[in-house]
């Protein structure tokens, strides 16, 4: 146990002794070279040599250096280890510097590689789609070549008629869904906005009692009274939505909602009919409004319709399909 405890100290002492000896050996060599250099300098000062003599001295010095044994450290010297350590450290520093300088280029190359891979994938997908389209066109041409011209025209007409029936069916289904949405959700909010209440979408829980009581100047519902003057209420409905809405169940608490829903349905139908009759001419698809209603404002806010740029009484639907075709 005592020998194990002493071994690290003894190794450190041996290493220190070798290091000190190597240092003294190097210092001795340096002193020898300095002495020789001083001798040569003193000789040159005493008797300056001609150029031929200087060349001869340099030649003889080179020959002596060439023929002399190279200086090698003594066995056990730490000088080779120090030289190797310095060289290793220098290599590591240079390698780290090189890696740091190449990191930016490597990142740029990686980004370019990812970009090229994405482009390649897009090109492959496009190629597959084009090949599939070419194959379908070839099959269609082959099938048409087998048919007589009148048979092809008849088949095309049948396809168009089938598509028209499907479109009419989907249109009817969409219109029914739109009417259900208007009557079940939108009409009450439109009526509230018309009566001075919140804008459509700001208040969702308004009931018939709130509409019957009306709203104050701040747009908040008034307190419902025990009895509502039906004549005054009907005059208010006539003033806002017109006398044609008296058929919506006079005396019923849902008069305002029914009137607002009917106005919204009539406006959307008029806008759709005008758009169809215009046949792509946007200037002919405008509908003239009797007044600026909450329904019209809602359609404009929803980006479904737009006013004429110079006449706020004219409104038309945004032709989404025509915009896509452009």
- Give the closest residue to 257 by CA, choosing from 195, 198, 301: 195
Q: Tell me: the pLDDT tens digits for 70-120?
A: 666 667 677 777 788 888 999 999 998 888 888 888 888 999 999 999 999
Instruction: Output the CA angle 303-308-312, nearest 5 degrees.
Output: 100
Integer Cα distance of 53 and 302 in angstroms:
106
If one compares 250 and 201, the residue with the highest pLDDT of the two is 201
126-157 burial code (b ≥16 CB/10 A, e <16): eeeeeeeeeeeeeeeeeeeeeeeeeeeeeeee
Does the pLDDT at position 128 exceed 90?
yes
CB atoms within 10 A of CB 12: 10
pLDDT of residue 243: 57
Q: Tell me: the pLDDT tens digits for 283-299?
A: 888 989 888 888 888 88
Q: Tell me: the pLDDT tens digits for 217-242?
A: 656 666 666 555 565 666 666 666 76
Q: Tell me: the pLDDT tens digits for 311-326?
A: 888 999 887 765 544 4
Taking residues 267-277, report their average pLDDT: 88
Taking residues 253-266, report their average pLDDT: 78
If one compares 235 and 165, the residue with the highest pLDDT of the two is 165
φ/ψ of residue 306, rounded to 5: -150, 145
pLDDT of residue 46: 60
Least confident window among 9-18, 212-221, 263-272, 290-299 = 212-221
């Amino acid at each position: 146990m005592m020998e194990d405890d002493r071994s690290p100290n003894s190794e450190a002492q041996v290493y220190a002794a070798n290091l000190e000896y190597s240092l003294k050996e190097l210092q001795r060599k340096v002193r020898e070279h300095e002495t020789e250099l001083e001798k040569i300098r003193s000789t040159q000062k005493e008797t300056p040599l001609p150029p031929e003599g200087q060349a001869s001295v340099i030649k003889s010095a080179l020959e002596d250096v060439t023929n002399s044994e190279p200086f090698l450290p003594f066995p056990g010297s730490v000088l080779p280890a120090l030289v190797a350590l310095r060289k290793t450290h220098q290599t590591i520093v240079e390698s780290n510097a090189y890696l740091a300088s190449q990191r930016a280029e490597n990142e740029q190359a990686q980004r370019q590689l990812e970009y090229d891979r994405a482009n390649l994938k897009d090109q492959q997908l496009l190629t597959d789609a084009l090949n599939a389209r070419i194959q379908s066109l070839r099959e269609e041409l082959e099938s048409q070549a087998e048919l007589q011209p009148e048979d092809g025209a008849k088949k095309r007409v049948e396809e168009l008629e089938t598509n028209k029936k499907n479109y009419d069916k989907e249109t009817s289904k969409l219109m029914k869904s739109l009417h259900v949405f208007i009557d079940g959700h939108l009409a009450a909010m439109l009526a509230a906005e018309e009566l001075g209440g919140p804008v459509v979408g700001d208040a969702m829980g308004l009931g018939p009692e709130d509409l019957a009581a009306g709203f104050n100047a701040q747009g908040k519902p008034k307190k419902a009274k025990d009895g509502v003057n039906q004549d005054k209420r009907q005059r208010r409905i006539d003033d806002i939505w017109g006398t044609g809405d008296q058929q919506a169940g006079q005396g019923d608490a849902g008069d305002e909602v029914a009137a607002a829903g009917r106005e919204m349905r009539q406006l959307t139908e008029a806008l759709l009919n005008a758009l169809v009759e215009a046949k792509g001419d946007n200037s002919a698809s405008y509908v003239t409004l009797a007044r600026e209603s909450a329904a019209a404002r809602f359609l404009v806010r929803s980006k479904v319709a737009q006013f004429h740029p110079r006449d706020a009484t004219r409104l038309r639907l945004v032709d989404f399909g025509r915009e896509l075709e452009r």
